[in-house]
């Protein structure tokens, strides 16, 4: 799964906040790199430059000179561990526990006022991991080809992948071979782009 730049910056801010609470000093670039899973210090430095440009942090000329300038968005923190094997079981380790703060920004929502939720009904998107009963978070923003969107096609609503077909223009495609592509007879209106899927596991 790809993480956009806004998600990376939110992750960095949450790590800095958590590190300050635990150690009473700011983290270094390399500590942020390892704590947030970046491949290189340069990738962290780039995101720190962007955070400084938008006023979220300020930096001084020392290795721990990162200061938060804006409070984090309200939410609730939960413990965060770097990984859990989903293949063969691995020996239990005791990593240093971090935390993540669940906020709209953490989920990838850039504009709260443009976001809405809808309950998924049906099995047409199972190939994308979207199941009947899931809660889909949608943000009203211009879509890109290939994204999953909430759409009105000829006055009826649906959740499908937006595809540009050379012969027909934009069509809606399911992620289940039992469902055919949807071609608008009159009109196609995109209501928003899928941002996240929430599922309660019982």
Cα–Cα dist 25/70, whole Å? 17
Q: What digits encode the pLDDT tens for the residues 128-161?
A: 999 999 999 999 999 999 999 999 999 899 999 9
Would 87 be classed as within a structural domain? no
pLDDT of res. 15: 87
CB neighbours of residue 169 within 10 Å:
11
116 lies in the same domain as 75? no
138 lies in the same domain as 76? no
Would 59 be classed as within a structural domain? yes
Domain count, the chain: 2
pLDDT of res. 1: 30
**Given CA atoms 11, 107, 129, 78 in this order, what sign does their dihedral have?**
positive
137 lies in the same domain as 67? no
pLDDT of res. 87: 62
Would 37 be classed as within a structural domain? yes
Assessment of whether the complete model's pTM goes beyond 0.75? no
178 lies in the same domain as 135? yes
Question: pLDDT: is 85 or 143 the higher one?
Answer: 143
Distances (CA, A) of 147 to 21, 141, 186: 38, 12, 22
Would 190 be classed as within a structural domain? yes
pLDDT of res. 181: 94
Which three-class secondary structure state does DSSP give residue 157?
strand
Would 63 be classed as within a structural domain? yes
Q: Catalytic amino acids?
A: 124, 160
Which domain, by its residues, includes 75? 5-82
pLDDT of res. 93: 58
Closest CA to 159 of 116, 111, 97, 95: 116
Q: What is the mean pLDDT of residues 89-113?
A: 66
pLDDT of res. 131: 94
144 lies in the same domain as 76? no
76: CATH: 1.10.10.10
194 lies in the same domain as 123? yes
- The number of angstroms, rounded, from the C-alpha of 174 to the middle of its chain's C-alpha atoms is 22
Would 89 be classed as within a structural domain? no
Would 125 be classed as within a structural domain? yes
Q: What is the mean pLDDT of residues 184-199?
A: 92
78 lies in the same domain as 116? no
């Amino acid at each position: 799964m790809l993480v956009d730049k806004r998600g990376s910056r939110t992750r960095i801010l949450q790590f800095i906040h958590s590190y300050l609470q635990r150690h009473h000093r700011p983290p270094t670039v390399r500590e942020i790199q390892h704590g947030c899973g970046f491949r290189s210090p340069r990738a962290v430095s780039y995101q720190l430059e962007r955070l400084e440009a938008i006023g979220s942090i300020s930096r001084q000329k020392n290795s721990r000179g990162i200061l938060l300038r804006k409070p984090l968005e309200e939410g609730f923190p939960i413990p965060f561990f770097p990984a859990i094997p989903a293949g063969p079981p691995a020996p239990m380790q005791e990593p240093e526990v971090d935390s993540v703060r669940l906020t709209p920004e953490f989920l990838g929502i850039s504009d709260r006022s443009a976001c809405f939720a809808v309950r998924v009904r049906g099995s047409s998107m199972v190939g994308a991991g979207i199941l009947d009963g899931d809660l889909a978070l949608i943000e009203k923003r211009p879509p890109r080809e290939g994204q999953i969107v909430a759409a009105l096609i000829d006055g009826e609503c649906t959740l499908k992948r937006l595809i540009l077909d050379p012969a027909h223009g934009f069509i809606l495609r399911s992620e289940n071979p039992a469902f055919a592509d949807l071609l608008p007879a009159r009109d196609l209106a995109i209501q928003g782009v899928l941002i996240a899927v929430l599922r309660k596991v019982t």
